[in-house]
C-alpha cells in the first residue's frame, strides 16, 4: 500500500490526467445516455481529433525546449492549400504531392527555427509573424475560394479504414488480431523491462502491482480494439497516430537527442556548458514542428475533402492546450508525448460531449479556456509545493 501511494505521489500529474480523461468520458457517457462511447462515436472522436493530436505531439517538443509556436494553424491551412493545388490543379500523383507538402512544411519550420535559434528573435514574435504570413499566403494560393475535391487515394489517409481480410460480417477480425498482438507485445516489453530492473538491482514495484497494472492496461487495449472492431475497424489515421506516438516517445525517452531537448528546456545555460549545441536543438525542434503541422494540414484537408481559407483556425490554441493539459510546462524542461496525446483526447472528448449535448460553440470555447487555465494553475501550484 505504501509503495502504491509513493508511485501515485511521484506521478501525480500523470495519474491526474488519466483520471481526468476517464472521469470526463464517464460523465459525458452518463449525460448523453450512452452515446459518447458507442463504436461510431469513438471512431469519430479519433478521426475528428487526429490533426490536434499530431500538432500536440510537435507542440509538446517545442514547449519542452521553452519555446512556443503560434503559426501551426496557419501552416496547416497553407499546406492544405498547397496540396490541393498540386493534386487538383496540376494532377500531381498523391504520394509525390504529399512528399512535396511535407518538404514545404520542413522549410517553413526551418524558417522559424533560423530566426529563433540563430538570430535570437523571441519565438512568440517569429511564429506570430508566421501565423499572419501563412494565413495570407493561404488566401493568395486559394484566391479566397475553396478548392475541392481531392483524389480518392488522398482521402484514404483521413477517412478510410483498414480492410478486413478475415471478415465474418459482424466483427472486424483483423482489428481484433491487431489488438491481441498489441497486448502480447506490451506484456513482453513490460516483462523485459522488469527483468532488466532486477538484473541491475533497480527499485521495482511489487509483483502484485506489476500484474494489476498489466491486466488493467491489457483490458483497456482489448476493450478499445473491440469497440473499433464492431464498427468499421481501425482507421488508417489511427495507424499514423500510433506510429507517431511510439516513435516520438522512443525518441524523447531513449535517445541522446531526445534528452538534449529536455536539457535545453530545463536549463539552457547549463546545457551549453555541458557541450549541447542548443541552437541546433532549437532549430530542429522547429523543423519538426513544421513537418507535423504539414501532416496535420494534410490530414485535415483529406477529412474535409477540400482546402479552404478558413482551415486551421484556432488549431494553435488547441495544440498548446493539449500539450499543457498533458503536463508540459511553459517554463520548459517538462512534458511527455503521451501526456500531449491524453491532453488532446481530453479536449476532444469535451468538444464531442458538449456537441452531443447541444452546447453551442461559444460555451465550448469558454469551457476549453477554463480547462486550460486550470491545467496551468495546477502545474504552478505543484511547483510551488515542491519548492
pLDDT of residue 12: 57
Give the count of alpha carbons within 13 A of 316, CB side only: 22
Contact 322, 343 (CB under 8 A): yes
What backbone phi and psi angles, to 5 degrees, belong to 147? -115, 120
Distances, alpha carbon 308 to alpha carbons 38, 78, 130, in Å: 31, 9, 18
Contact 317, 74 (CB under 8 A): no
The band of 104, judged by pLDDT with boundaries at 50, 70 and 90, is very high
- 128-133 long-range contacts, Cβ below 8 Å, gap at least 24? 128/70, 128/71, 130/70, 130/71, 130/74, 130/75, 131/70, 131/71, 131/73, 131/74, 131/316, 132/74, 133/71, 133/74
Structure confidence by residue, pLDDT tens digits, 320-339: 999 988 888 888 888 999 99
pTM of the model: 0.92
- Most confidently predicted of 4-8, 199-203, 207-211: 207-211
pLDDT of residue 164: 81
Nearest to 289 by CA among 136, 106, 50: 106
SS (H, E, C) 179-222: HHHHHHHHHHHHHHHHHHHHHCCCCCCCHHHHHHHHHHHHHHHH
Q: What domains sit in the chain, N to C, each tagged with a CATH number?
A: 2-160+235-386 (1.10.3470)
Q: Is 147 helix (H, G, I), strand (E, B) or coil?
A: strand
Contact 300, 312 (CB under 8 A): yes
The average confidence (pLDDT) of the chain is 89
**Helices 152-159 and 94-113 meet at what angle, rounded to 10?**
60
Amino acid at each position: 500500500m505504501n509503495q502504491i501511494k509513493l508511485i501515485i505521489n511521484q506521478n501525480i500529474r500523470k495519474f491526474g490526467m488519466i483520471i481526468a480523461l476517464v472521469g470526463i468520458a464517464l460523465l459525458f457517457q452518463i449525460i448523453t445516455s450512452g452515446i459518447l462511447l458507442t463504436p461510431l462515436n469513438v471512431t469519430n472522436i479519433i478521426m475528428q481529433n487526429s490533426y490536434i493530436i499530431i500538432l500536440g505531439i510537435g507542440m509538446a517538443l517545442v514547449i519542452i525546449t521553452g519555446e512556443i509556436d503560434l503559426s501551426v494553424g496557419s501552416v496547416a491551412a497553407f499546406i492544405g492549400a498547397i496540396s490541393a493545388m498540386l493534386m487538383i490543379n496540376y494532377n500531381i500523383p498523391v504520394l509525390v504531392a504529399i512528399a512535396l507538402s511535407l518538404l514545404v512544411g520542413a522549410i517553413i519550420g526551418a524558417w522559424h527555427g533560423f530566426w529563433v535559434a540563430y538570430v535570437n528573435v523571441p519565438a512568440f514574435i517569429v511564429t506570430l509573424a508566421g501565423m499572419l504570413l501563412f494565413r495570407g499566403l493561404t488566401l493568395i494560393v486559394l484566391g479566397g475560394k475553396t478548392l475541392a475535391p481531392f483524389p480518392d487515394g488522398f482521402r484514404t489517409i483521413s477517412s478510410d479504414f483498414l480492410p478486413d481480410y478475415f471478415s465474418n460480417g459482424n466483427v472486424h477480425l483483423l482489428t481484433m488480431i491487431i489488438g491481441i498482438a498489441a497486448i502480447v507485445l506490451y506484456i513482453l516489453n513490460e516483462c523485459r523491462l522488469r527483468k532488466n530492473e532486477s538484473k541491475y538491482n533497480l527499485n521495482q514495484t511489487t509483483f502484485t502491482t506489476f500484474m494489476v497494472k498489466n491486466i488493467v492496461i491489457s483490458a483497456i487495449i482489448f476493450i478499445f480494439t473491440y469497440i473499433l472492431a464492431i464498427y468499421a475497424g481501425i482507421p488508417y489515421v489511427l495507424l499514423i497516430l500510433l506510429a507517431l506516438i511510439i516513435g516520438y516517445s522512443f525518441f524523447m525517452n531513449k535517445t541522446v537527442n531526445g534528452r538534449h531537448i529536455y536539457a535545453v528546456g530545463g536549463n539552457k545555460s547549463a546545457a551549453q556548458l555541458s557541450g549541447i549545441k542548443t541552437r541546433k536543438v532549437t532549430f530542429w525542434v522547429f523543423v519538426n514542428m513544421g513537418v507535423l503541422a504539414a501532416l496535420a494540414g494534410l490530414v485535415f484537408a483529406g477529412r474535409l475533402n477540400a482546402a479552404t481559407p478558413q482551415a486551421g483556425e484556432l488549431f494553435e490554441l488547441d495544440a498548446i492546450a493539449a500539450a499543457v493539459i498533458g503536463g508540459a510546462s511553459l517554463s520548459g524542461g517538462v512534458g511527455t508525448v503521451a501526456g500531449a496525446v491524453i491532453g488532446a483526447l481530453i479536449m476532444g472528448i469535451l468538444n464531442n460531449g458538449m456537441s452531443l449535448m447541444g452546447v453551442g460553440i461559444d460555451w465550448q470555447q469558454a469551457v476549453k479556456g477554463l480547462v486550460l487555465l486550470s491545467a496551468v494553475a495546477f502545474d504552478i501550484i505543484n511547483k510551488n509545493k515542491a519548492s
